[in-house]
């Protein structure tokens, strides 16, 4: 059966999570980032994810904006960066992350093909609204679904349930697209058809669920046999 609904993870899949640190490093007033922004961005993202997993496991939920701030604080502290203006600028830029170059066209073409398009994200509603608006994607998405509707982060199956509840579709009617290997594995175990956008060429995670497709960019979705 053909896919009816294409659902995308947001951060790292549609939006470039390294963009905030990269842009901040171009500011002469934030020269402390010039040689370390890439490592800071990687640690920031890693801690952001780790904190979301730990909060899900321990049932100590907070919204993803708090997790994002906590991850940045750890990454800055690890490098001895104590600049409040730097922190403020990095957080501001995170609300305005660049979308990957192919995103707008891929979403538009999927909708032309009659597919529903949506975001399913750990992001809080305000974060997602800012990112979608900043990237000019508002008219290319049928829904932006946040885990805040249920108060637990991915990879809880309760999060993936939100897709069926919103669109009234079966898991096998959904193509779930993520750049995160752990998210792709969890979505595959849930029953979605899954495309893992493996931009970095990472090994496949050793998890029960395995992606149906491994892509290097989002444009390749348009060539899949089940679209």
Catalytic residues: 9
Residues 108, 140 contacting (CB under 8 angstroms):
yes
Q: How many CB atoms lie within 10 A of CB 85?
A: 10
Nearest-angstrom CA–CA distance, 195 and 6: 10
Bridge partners (DSSP) listed for residue 22: none
Longest dimension (CA), the chain: 55
Q: How many CB atoms lie within 10 A of CB 134?
A: 15
- DSSP codes of every residue in 75-137: HHHHTT---HHHHHHHHHHHTTPPBPTTHHHHHHHHHHTT-EEEEEESS-HHHHHHHHHHHT-
């Amino acid at each position: 059966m053909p896919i009816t609904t294409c659902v995308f993870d947001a951060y790292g899949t549609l939006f470039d999570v390294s963009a905030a640190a990269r842009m901040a490093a171009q500011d002469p007033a934030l020269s402390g980032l010039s040689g370390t922004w890439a490592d800071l961005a990687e640690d920031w993202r890693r801690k952001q994810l780790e904190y979301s997993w730990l909060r899900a496991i321990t049932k100590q939920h907070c919204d993803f904006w708090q997790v994002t701030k906590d991850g940045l604080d750890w990454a800055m502290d690890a490098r001895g960066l104590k600049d409040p203006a730097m922190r403020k600028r990095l957080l501001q830029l995170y609300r305005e992350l660049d979308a990957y170059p192919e995103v707008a066209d891929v979403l538009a073409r999927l909708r032309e093909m009659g597919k529903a398009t949506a975001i399913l994200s750990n992001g809080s509603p305000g974060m997602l609204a800012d990112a979608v608006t900043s990237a000019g994607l508002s008219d290319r998405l049928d829904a932006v679904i946040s885990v805040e509707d249920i108060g637990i982060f991915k990879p809880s199956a309760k999060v993936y349930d939100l897709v069926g509840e919103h669109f009234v579709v079966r898991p096998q009617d959904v193509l779930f697209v993520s750049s995160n290997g752990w998210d792709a594995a969890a979505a595959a175990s849930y029953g979605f058809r899954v495309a893992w956008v493996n931009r970095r060429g990472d090994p496949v995670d050793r998890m029960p669920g395995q992606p149906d497709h491994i892509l290097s960019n989002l444009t390749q979705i348009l060539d899949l046999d089940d679209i």
